[in-house]
Amino acid sequence: MTMRALEVRALSDDLSGLALADRPIPRPGAGEVLVRIEATALGFPDLLMTQGLYQAKPSLPFVPGMESAGVIVELGESHADRGHADWQVGDRVICGGLTGGVAHYGVFPVGAVQRLPDALSFAQGAALRVAYLTAWASLVRLGRAQPGEWLVVQGAAGGVGLAAVDLARELGLRTIAVASQADKLDAVRGLYPIEAGLVGPTGIRRAVLDMTDGRGADLVFDPVGGDVFDEACRYTAFGGRLLVVGFAGGRIPTVAANIPLIKGFSIIGVRAGEYGRRFPDHGREHLAAIHALAEAGRIRPHVQAAVPLSQWREAYAAMRDRRVIGRTVILPHA
């Protein structure tokens, strides 16, 4: 039995190293489940991996896709101590790993499987875990956000940025959303309530200081890097926390150590997945928290487009060209 999957056969900047292929349907081993994948959300790391620019570099060829949702169709060797007691064929789940999502089927360890909240579609479920875990680890665990604090979200229209805007509302933060274009900012405003919106990267410092009566932002969520990070170092408040989430802007910035010293703010690196691996109890707490919020309808991932597997190239190109608000999802069986 074979299935269709997207393969990365060679690293490339123009997606030329990717192609659809027929592959054997994998079989689950002990401690694993086979999932019929109904939706896979694309994120910036998926694009970087096809270029060899992500910190993890899978051996070629590989099937991309880190975040999926679907239905369990087979259990591997059933041992209660491996977690199988919690699962049955037919369960709707969120699943994922470093690779394997852009395919009809995937095998996942039971530890990488979570129940799909009833309030979410498969497409929304696929878009939930990485973005909202990043937002939760950033704002709650590492940023120690308190109700009423001022938050600036850079790259607010992107997948993780939009998740941070959504979660900030639930946390009672006063959010200033920053986007690269006015139409993206309008889209953010149409999805979630914000205190203010700004088009960057220039002029952000003055606007933030004006809105905060000269104090600056208590929290800055920055998945962009480059010029917007440089600007953030000038408007983060004394005692504030500048959260380094990624470098979607392309340039990895640097800062002289005397700037955070004199201005009295902290620069905190965020790797939500690695944090969960190093502190598994906290990782489970983070997952449980976002799952409960999603189940209650208090957070809701935004999926801009859900496209069939045959349109994978258009989906990747839209992400590469920064045309996606929130997430694009691939539906392997559509």
Q: Which secondary-structure segment (H or E) carries 329? A: strand 327-331
pLDDT of 80 strictly over 50: no
User: Considering only CA atoms, which of 154, 282, 271, 272 is closest in space to residue 219?
Assistant: 154
> What whole-number percentage of the chain has pLDDT above 90?
85
Mean pLDDT of the region 79-105: 84
Only one residue has tokens 């976002």, namely 290
Cα angle: 182, vertex 186, 191; to 5 degrees: 150
In terms of residues, how long is the chain? 334
| CATH class of the 2-128+301-331 domain in this structure | alpha beta
| 66 within 8 A of 39, measured Cβ to Cβ | no
49 token code pair: 């991996």
Residue ranges of domains in the chain = 2-128+301-331, 130-274
Give the pLDDT score at 82: 53
**Do 2-128+301-331 and 130-274 agree at the fold level?**
no
238-247 pLDDT, tens digit per residue, is: 999 999 999 8
C-alpha–C-alpha distance, residues 289 and 218, integer Å: 23
C-alpha–C-alpha distance, residues 246 and 252, integer Å: 9
Give the pLDDT score at 44: 87
C-alpha–C-alpha distance, residues 151 and 131, integer Å: 17
In the chain, DSSP finds a helix count (H) and a strand count (E) of 11, 15
172-221 pLDDT, tens digit per residue, is: 999 999 998 999 999 999 999 999 999 977 789 999 999 999 999 999 99
CATH superfamily, domain 130-274, is: NAD(P)-binding Rossmann-like Domain (3.40.50.720)
**Confidence (pTM):** 0.90
Neighbours of 291 (CB within 10 A): 20
Q: What are residue 70's DSSP bridge partners?
A: 37, 93
C-alpha–C-alpha distance, residues 43 and 127, integer Å: 9
